[in-house]
Amino acid sequence: MTWQLKKKLQDIIEEEQGTMIFPAGSRQGFALVYPNTYHVGMSNLGFQIIYQQINQRGDTACERLFLPDKKTEPEYIRTNTPLMTIETQRPLYEFPLIGFDMTFEMDYFNFMQILSLGKVPLLVTDRDENDPFVLIGGPCATFNPEPLAGFVDICIIGEGEEVIHELLDTYYQGREQGLTRREILYNVAQIEGVYVPCFYQPSYLENGQIAAINRADGVPMQVKRRFVEDLDQYEAQTVIVTSNTEFKDMFLIEVARGCGRHCRFCMAGYCFRRPRVRSLPKLTAAIEKAKQYRSKVGLMGAAISDYPEIDILCKAVLEQEMLMSVASLRADSLTETLVQSLAISKHKTITLAPEAASIRLRRIINKTITDEHLYDGIQMAIAAGIPHIRLYIMIGLPFEEQEDIEEIVTLAENIKKYMESLGSKGKLTLSVNPFVPKPFTPFQWMPMAPMNVVEAKLKFIASSLRQRKNIEVLVESPKEAYVQAILARGDRRLSSVLLMAHARGGMKGFKQAMKANGLKEEEYLYRERDEKNEILPWHSLDMGLDASYLVQELGQARAEIFTSRCADGCVRCGICRK
């Protein structure tokens, strides 16, 4: 029954603090959607940041919507009830603006399902003047929205705190002037950081490669990524407190944004460069606020241990008699104060990310940490009373050889011996994931390793370490990684594939949909792109990097040469010159 579905949403609100609900009709509506469950979506700090920004306006009420869980979704289907927002249980199709936070490619299938269950026309071409505008933002929208171009009216490229207000102002102005849907889209396309796919049409060569991207008159040749210069101008911390998230006991605070480490596989390091940090006074004020709601602070950022005043920040948390957790650590910037603070906060595992075991492969991917950095970090952790170690490792990296895989086994065995020599009886966990090439990285042109090769390497690592006590190997599904790789570097033709896959049950219908649309998986996965001449699907987007920079970095990788991290006065990638 529909009333039961509404009651379930109302029960969610009862367990929240900070929810913003406005009287009916007092503001324009904006549906903010995370294409996964409430538990996952409310763990995303970026989602909460945009929720707050929109609601701070006097003219817009932002309401949240999530993918129903597996028990609830069939009831929506059985009763033909459209998906509803949490705040007012209003049907999705009634909102004039629907914004999705697209963080992971595998959520594209959920994106389709939400629009369908929300009774919103899936295709842009099927929407008329009375239908909602569908927007996407987040990492996937920033680096390559093309696979979703058939379903999306507007894409926010880059960071959203400022551009969302310019977009809403332009939309409301257009409505007041009585402009048509296309006229509003044209005006929105003039905003820096806004990409409107319908004004950019690719044409193709016989071999399936892009011949040109034809744009409508008057829209930018390339859409520049938006960038928040001063993070202190915008709060970035938990807005709605709830226990029904992955971080149920934590109040999240963003410490920094972007990364200047130049890891050649990492999209975030290129699309969100340059690195910026929040001031210590702003962070200590956020910690004081956190104490009103939670006993634990979650510090968020690309590399928390790189924060210039990390020791002072840790002490500030502990002085408030609170515990802390961190999103990520770098083995070469760990401090004893940070590690001890994590131990005091009852952490039992410290996670480090060498990504590759061999020094040769670390040079290729520009991961500058050494084995000595790893051992120093492990020694600090064990000395502080943290018994377990987790290492993130990738396989199938460009220019990888069998010797590099064998060194993963050697590194694991050596680290376990070192842990035991320090008196630790803890577990060593290897989290091993297939490498996926991403746009706007030096490896955007490189092929994936064949799936059978990756599966053989995974089997070799697992079997080699199976008999070693207290070493655990966790593996991401290669099948999902390869679908993710197609979507990450895909072009606009994948919209037809996603539409057909949706009709056939989502991801399980993806392979058949590729074939039915005449597209070959191997062309997306295993073909090396021409870094000098080929037009890539995301060519209409500009991250601020010099055109030749990524090509140079690919050459550095081939030559096994490190690139130093960002520093004051550095202009080599071009971003800090613009």
Q: Can you tell me the mean pLDDT for 274-300?
A: 95
The 10 Å CB-count burial string (b at 16+, else e) for 463-488 is ebbeeeeebebebeebeebbbbbbbb
pLDDT at 76 over 90: yes
Q: Can you tell me the mean pLDDT for 463-472?
A: 94
Q: Can you tell me the mean pLDDT for 494-517?
A: 97
DSSP letters for 266-332: -HHHHHTPSPEE--HHHHHHHHHHHTTT-SEEEEESS-GGG-TTHHHHHHHHHHTT-EEEES---TT
Domain boundaries, the chain: 2-219, 249-489+544-577
pLDDT tens-digit profile of 174-204? 999 999 999 999 999 999 999 999 999 999 9
> What percentage of the chain carries pLDDT values higher than 90?
91
Q: In sequence order, what are the beta bridge partners of 277?
A: 256
pLDDT at position 270 is: 86
pLDDT at position 249 is: 87
- Answer whether the bond into residue 274 is a cis peptide, omega within 30°: yes
CA distances from 64 to 32, 52, 84, 309 (A): 5, 11, 9, 35
Mean pLDDT of the chain: 95
Q: Residues 486, 525: contact at Cβ < 8 Å? A: yes
How far apart (Å, rounded) are the C-alpha atoms in residues 489 and 525?
A: 9
pLDDT at position 273 is: 84
One fold for both 2-219 and 249-489+544-577? no
Q: Residues 377, 342: contact at Cβ < 8 Å? A: no
Q: Can you tell me the mean pLDDT for 240-254?
A: 93
Q: Residues 193, 156: contact at Cβ < 8 Å? A: yes
Q: Residues 553, 442: contact at Cβ < 8 Å? A: yes
pLDDT at position 572 is: 83
pLDDT tens-digit profile of 540-574? 999 999 889 999 999 999 999 999 888 777 888 88
Of 259, 267, 225, whose CA–CA distance to 442 is shortest? 267
Of 447, 457, 462, whose CA–CA distance to 526 is shortest? 447
pLDDT tens-digit profile of 130-151? 999 999 999 999 999 999 999 9
How far apart (Å, rounded) are the C-alpha atoms in residues 513 and 204?
A: 20
pLDDT at position 39 is: 96
Of 295, 279, 281, 411, whose CA–CA distance to 353 is shortest? 411
Q: How confident is the model at residue 460 (pLDDT cuts 50, 70, 90)?
A: very high
pLDDT at 417 over 70: yes
Q: Can you tell me the mean pLDDT for 520-526?
A: 97
pLDDT at 1 over 80: no
Q: Can you tell me the mean pLDDT for 16-45?
A: 96
Question: Which residues make Cβ contacts (< 8 Å) with residue 501, sequence separation at least 6?
Answer: 109, 112, 507, 509, 510, 512, 513
Q: How confident is the model at residue 578 (pLDDT cuts 50, 70, 90)?
A: low
Q: Can you tell me the mean pLDDT for 46-54?
A: 97
pLDDT at position 12 is: 96
pLDDT at 412 over 70: yes
How far apart (Å, rounded) are the C-alpha atoms in residues 509 and 500?
A: 8
| Helix H or strand E segment including 182 | helix 181-188
Whole-model pTM: value is 0.96
pLDDT at 331 over 90: yes
Of 454, 518, 446, whose CA–CA distance to 489 is shortest? 446
pLDDT at position 28 is: 97
Q: How confident is the model at residue 577 (pLDDT cuts 50, 70, 90)?
A: confident
pLDDT at 19 over 80: yes
The CATH architecture one would assign to domain 249-489+544-577 is: Alpha-Beta Horseshoe (3.80)
Q: How confident is the model at residue 271 (pLDDT cuts 50, 70, 90)?
A: confident
pLDDT tens-digit profile of 333-368? 999 999 999 999 999 999 999 999 999 999 999 999
Of 168, 142, 171, whose CA–CA distance to 155 is shortest? 142
How far apart (Å, rounded) are the C-alpha atoms in residues 437 and 489?
A: 8
Residue 101 tokens, joined: 């936070």
Q: Residues 109, 507: contact at Cβ < 8 Å? A: yes
DSSP assignment, residue 350? E
How far apart (Å, rounded) are the C-alpha atoms in residues 236 and 230?
A: 12
Q: Can you tell me the mean pLDDT for 257-277?
A: 89
How far apart (Å, rounded) are the C-alpha atoms in residues 79 and 85?
A: 17
- The CATH number that domain 2-219 falls under is 3.40.50.280
CA distances from 423 to 238, 331, 343, 351, 374 (A): 39, 21, 17, 19, 17
pLDDT tens-digit profile of 22-36? 999 999 999 999 999
